[in-house]
Structure 1
Amino acid sequence: MRTERANGGGQAERRDLRVIVGAAIIRDGRVLACARSAPPEVAGMWEFPGGKVEPGESETAALARECAEELAVRVEIGDRVGRNVRMAHGRSVLKVYAARLLHDDQPQALEHSALRWLSADELDSVTWLPADAPIVAALRPILAA
């Protein structure tokens, strides 16, 4: 994704935004939340699993790879959830997709300190990372349906 901003001379300067993808893995009306184990300033806060899209990789391929690496699961990627969320002082954008587990896979906390399945009523029971908070709001009506 590219964005433009004015530089000191008033001319547009192009820069690439790093795309971060997240998975709102939904099962039985609940979404999977993952507790960060690091770095220390965000350890214990909750997020959706995912990570950086590598050069030449599609967003959905990156998300499938990240879910396999972080949770040892295979997922089917669905529709986008919520809006793009700017992060990292405007250098990155978070895009979250709904997902579902395949083949009765069970998530394992390979890179997180804990995992929880949350219903719409339980979404506020954890402290979400700031970038994930707008997605939580968009997810609430999906889970309640």
Structure 2
Amino acid sequence: MRTERVGGSGQAERREPKVIVGAAIIRDGRVLACARSGPPEVAGMYEFPGGKVEAGESETAALARECAEELAVRVEIGDRVGRDVRMAHGRSVLKVYAARLLHDDQPKALEHQAMRWLSAAELDTVTWLPADAPIVAALRPLLLTAP
């Protein structure tokens, strides 16, 4: 999906939406859910950790960087989970990838107010951010078949 805006010349300019990546970090049949600490309107809601893909950065490199910055962990990025989720009136798109922790790393809540490991049966026990909620249904079968 492309968005258009009118530039100074009066011509419509097309630009690709900003890509936001998220990590569905799976361990022992559970996924890591992180509670936002802010802004106030979403504080306490859960999300998959991640962030913006910077210019010149691949989606998987951005996700590995974001996991290191937010959780102090190293991850191996796997396959996509679910579909693209449009955000911010089409100006952004969320893409979530399955991931696994490397080297027995243990996540730390450096930027979140809380973290929980959720089984497939527990996915609906937290309030997900609207953009992350559509991924939950696609994630459930992965958790049920995880080693």
Residues 28-53 of structure 1: CA distance to partner in whole angstroms, max 9, x if unpaired?
A: 00000000001000000000000000
**In 2, Cα distance between equivalents of 1:133 and 1:38:** 18
| Letter of the 2:109 counterpart | A
Could you list the runs of 5+ residues in structure 1 that have no partner in the other structure? Answer: none
Residues 88-140 of structure 1: CA distance to partner in whole angstroms, max 9, x if unpaired?
A: 11100000000000000000000000000000000000000000011011001
RMSD: 1.6
Paired position in structure 1 for 2:107: 107
State the TM-score, normalizing by the size of structure 1.
0.93
State the TM-score, normalizing by the size of structure 2.
0.91
Could you list the runs of 5+ residues in structure 2 that have no partner in the other structure? Answer: none
Paired position in structure 1 for 2:49: 49
Paired position in structure 2 for 1:78: 78
Paired position in structure 2 for 1:121: 121
Q: Is the 8 A contact 2:3 2:91 kept in 1?
A: no
Q: Is the 8 A contact 1:4 1:12 kept in 2?
A: no
TM-aligned CA deviation for residue 4 of structure 1:
5.3
**SS in structure 2 opposite 1:106?**
coil
Q: For 1:3-82, what aligned pairs fall within 5 Å after superposition?
A: 3=2, 13-82=13-82
**In 2, Cα distance between equivalents of 1:139 and 1:5:** 33
| Letter of the 1:47 counterpart | E
Q: Is the 8 A contact 1:48 1:132 kept in 2?
A: yes
User: After TM superposition, where is structure 1 displaced by more than 2 Å over at least 4 residues in a row?
Assistant: 4-7
**SS in structure 1 opposite 2:100?**
strand
User: Percent sequence identity over matched residues?
Assistant: 85
TM-aligned CA deviation for residue 144 of structure 1:
1.2
